A and B are shown apart, each in its own frame.
Chain A
Amino acid sequence: MATNYPANLKYTKEHEWVSVEGDVATIGITDFAQSALGDIVFLETPDVGTKLSAGATFGVVESIKSVSDLYAPVSGEVIEKNSDLEGSPEEINSDAYASWLIKVKLSDTNELNNLLSAADYENFCNSSH
């Protein structure tokens, strides 16, 4: 299955994508991740106001046969969550980059330097799997 890696996004080795506008990061899981998980049937994300710490788990995504933790790519406060997605998590399988999970107000924009570029993330996916 062909996966894609939009160049305008940042990525983590835990297979999250990040889109940055000013000091707000929009976070989702990558096309590679949804493909590896298969049919996504359940999503658990934090409520607005929750403080996230980079690298810590912030939620769960479940396919029919698996449970995977979500890891915060950056630190900050959740300012919005995509509640619609909880009722139809399979949309992540249809379009992972349109299916954002949460928006976070960054507490340290320097953390963005720790994220991977599209090219680096693609190399990571190709080498580790």
Chain B
Amino acid sequence: MSNFKTHLYDEHLKLNAKIVPFAGWDMPVQYTSVKEEVSAVRNSVGVFDVSHMGEFFVTGPDALKFVDYILTNDISAAEVGKAIYSPLCRENGTVIDDLIVYKFSNERLLICVNASNIEKDFTWIKSKLGGFNCELVNKSDDYSLLAVQGPKTYETLVKVFPDLENISYYSVIEKGSFIFARTGYTGEDGFEVFGSHQEIIELWGKLIALGVTPCGLASRDVLRLEVCFPLYGHELDDNVTPYDATLGWTVKHTKENFIGKDALTNKPTKYKLVKLLLDKGIPRDGYPVVNAQGENIGVVTSGTMSVTLNKGIALARIDVDKVPADDVFLIDIRNKHYPAQLVKKSFVTGGHK
């Protein structure tokens, strides 16, 4: 079976993008250079085609109650017009996916999920609808999605949409058939713009004409890792709880009930996710992490060369009972042990407000 292509595929080819398979899709991994694309987003503005992601709408009288029940974060407490990040967990507390909910009203919410998990998520969520007076529709095939990211996002977007409100971080508004959300996966200010395929193709063309840098999946991964955002399949998977990925803040025990509440009550933790910075060597996914005695204590879940810092950075999953008291971590790179510094804050501080 051939991979899916987004409706912007021909636009990517026109820009000489390098295309790679990702989650069943043929996606642009880079256009000119990962360094240039990362710098554009940190310092100016870049645009990503993320149309492969999934869009589910939940509508009806119980829509909010239902979404709040299936997710660990508190969707009820959030104001209408806000976006909320949340894991989607099983009864045993393991993570099916991580996603963003857009709360248009108490009767209408949009759930945006990872491309690789669209079917798994939809099947799971649908199976939980019993007893709720609401409807779940998978609209993933109807929407294209651009992530416009970087400090110059708003001033660029208002050139295309002169009446676009300067909404606050993690807010959402609908304008005609477009949805504008002040969200993203880079740590910078930015908007994610959902629209029909034709509208988004036109928007892409206008943004490129305005000098916005087209950015691929490689720069997106570097950007999210520099600000320590988790990626499903790396920091999160079917075998870990939110607590294994330092996402305890997204589990709201004060809620009356939600799927996984009992299992998550005691904050079950098998792993500690740590941030490691290297002076020398580039950590990669799957590389072993060892302690001062050279004993294996965990594994790198995501690693790359940071473009912004020009150093190797990693998120690593450490067995909770093997976390070294002396904070000495080394990464095994081709059988050589490279010292890694444990850092508490994200490697790079994004500029979102």
Chain A residues in contact with chain B, CB under 8 A? 1, 38-39, 41-42, 44, 60, 62-65, 67
Contacts and interface: CB of A to CB of B under 8 A. Distances in A.
A62 B282 contact: yes
Nearest to B312: A42
A39 B34 contact: yes
A57 B16 CA distance: 31
B313 to A, nearest CB: 11
Given A64-B218, A65-B304, 4 more contacts: A41-B305, A42-B281, A64-B222, A64-B304
B86 interface: no
Interface string B22-52: 0000000110011100000000000000000
Contacts of B304: 64-65
Question: What does DSSP make chain A's interface, helix, strand, loop or mixed?
Answer: strand
A39 B35 contact: yes
B40 to A, nearest CB: 14
Contacts of A63: 34
Contacts, number: 34
Given A1-B16, A41-B305, A42-B305, A64 B34 contact: yes
Interface residues of B, number: 17
Contact of B282 (A1, A38, A39, A42): A42
Nearest to B35: A39
A38 B305 contact: no
B261 interface: no
Contacts of A65: 29, 34, 218, 221-222, 304
B232 to A, nearest CB: 18
A64 B305 contact: yes
B33 A41 contact: no
B348 to A, nearest CB: 14
B20 to A, nearest CB: 10
Given A1-B16, A41-B305, A64 B284 contact: no
Contacts of A38: 18, 30, 33-34, 218
A42 B218 CA distance: 17
The 3 closest A-B pairs by CB, nearest first: A64-B34, A65-B218, A41-B305
Contacts of A39: 33-35
B282 A41 contact: yes
A64 B307 contact: yes
B305 A62 contact: yes
A64 B35 contact: yes
Given A39-B35, A41-B305, A42-B282, A60 B334 contact: yes
